[in-house]
């Protein structure tokens, strides 16, 4: 008679989801910020750049390598959609019914991904490179940056709702709940002073939280599945 007690048991699907979310989070950071660093090295001007600065920058990123980096960044935005939806599902289990905060978190993250996939003004302008007029370059650069600043509100909504669930359910630890709340509120304030470099502080604070969260889900995938 077979030994039933020694048969392997199916793993908890939520534990598998947590581990997968951690893996997606790591890939997300590489796919998003690798191209950001590469494109910035081509002489990216500040958010309030002049028309001439914008035109020169689009000329610099007309090269094939830059177009490839923007394609990789698009993959990163799709990876962000996977991450936000997967983590929202984990939050939903922790939150219980009605899972309104975790649902808002997922939808807010989806808005960020939508911005990355639809907001293609920089990519379109760079295709014309040095042939683009300063006026068109100015409009394309400003349109991309305003869209980017608006996306901070979507990130803030995801961060605040996620932190709220973590704090109210006490999963992951209180510091992991306050961290995104502070980053999210900082991003809301940054939207009103978006041309100032101060936006980088809450923005990077949020993405650092994503890295720490992803590592924790990889190492301890049962944190949100028990």
- Provide the whole-model pTM: 0.87
Is the preceding peptide bond at 7 cis, omega within 30 degrees of 0?
A: no
pLDDT at site 10? 45
Asked if the peptide bond before residue 98 counts as cis, ω within 30 degrees of 0, the response is: yes
| Cα–Cα nearest to 127, from 71, 47, 61 | 61
Contact predicate 81/118, CB 8 Å: no
First to last CA, the chain: 33
Distance of CA 44 to the CA centre of its chain: 20
**What is d(CA 156, CA 147) in angstroms, rounded to the nearest whole number?**
14
Instruction: Give SS3 for 177.
Output: helix
Q: For the chain, how big is the Rg over CA atoms in Å?
A: 20
How far apart, in Å, are the Cα atoms of 2 and each of 10, 32, 38, 157?
A: 18, 51, 58, 53
Each residue of 165-182: pLDDT tens digit?
Answer: 999 998 888 999 999 999
Helix, strand or coil for residue 1?
A: coil
pLDDT tens figures, 29-47: 999 999 889 888 888 888 7
Structure confidence by residue, pLDDT tens digits, 65-96:
888 888 899 999 999 999 999 999 999 988 88
Cβ atoms of 121 and 54 within 8 Å: the answer is no
């Amino acid at each position: 008679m077979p030994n039933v007690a020694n048969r392997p048991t199916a793993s908890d699907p939520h534990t598998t989801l947590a581990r997968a979310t951690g893996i997606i989070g790591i890939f997300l950071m590489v796919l998003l910020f690798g191209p950001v660093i590469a494109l910035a090295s081509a002489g990216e001007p500040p958010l309030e750049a002049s028309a001439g600065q914008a035109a020169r920058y689009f000329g610099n990123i007309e090269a094939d390598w830059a177009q490839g980096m923007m394609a990789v960044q698009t993959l990163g935005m799709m990876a962000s959609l996977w991450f936000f939806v997967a983590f929202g599902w984990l939050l939903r289990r922790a939150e219980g019914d009605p899972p309104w905060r975790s649902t808002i978190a997922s939808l807010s993250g989806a808005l960020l991904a939508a911005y990355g996939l639809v907001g293609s003004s920089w990519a379109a302008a760079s295709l014309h490179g040095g042939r683009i007029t300063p006026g068109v370059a100015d409009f394309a650069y400003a349109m991309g940056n305003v869209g980017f600043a608006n996306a901070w509100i979507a990130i803030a909504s995801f961060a605040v709702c996620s932190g709220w669930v973590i704090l109210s359910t006490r999963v992951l630890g209180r510091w992991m709940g306050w961290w995104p709340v502070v980053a999210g509120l900082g991003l809301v304030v940054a939207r009103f002073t978006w041309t100032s470099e101060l936006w980088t502080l809450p923005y990077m604070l949020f993405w650092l939280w994503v890295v720490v969260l992803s590592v924790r889900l990889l190492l301890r995938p049962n944190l949100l599945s028990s």
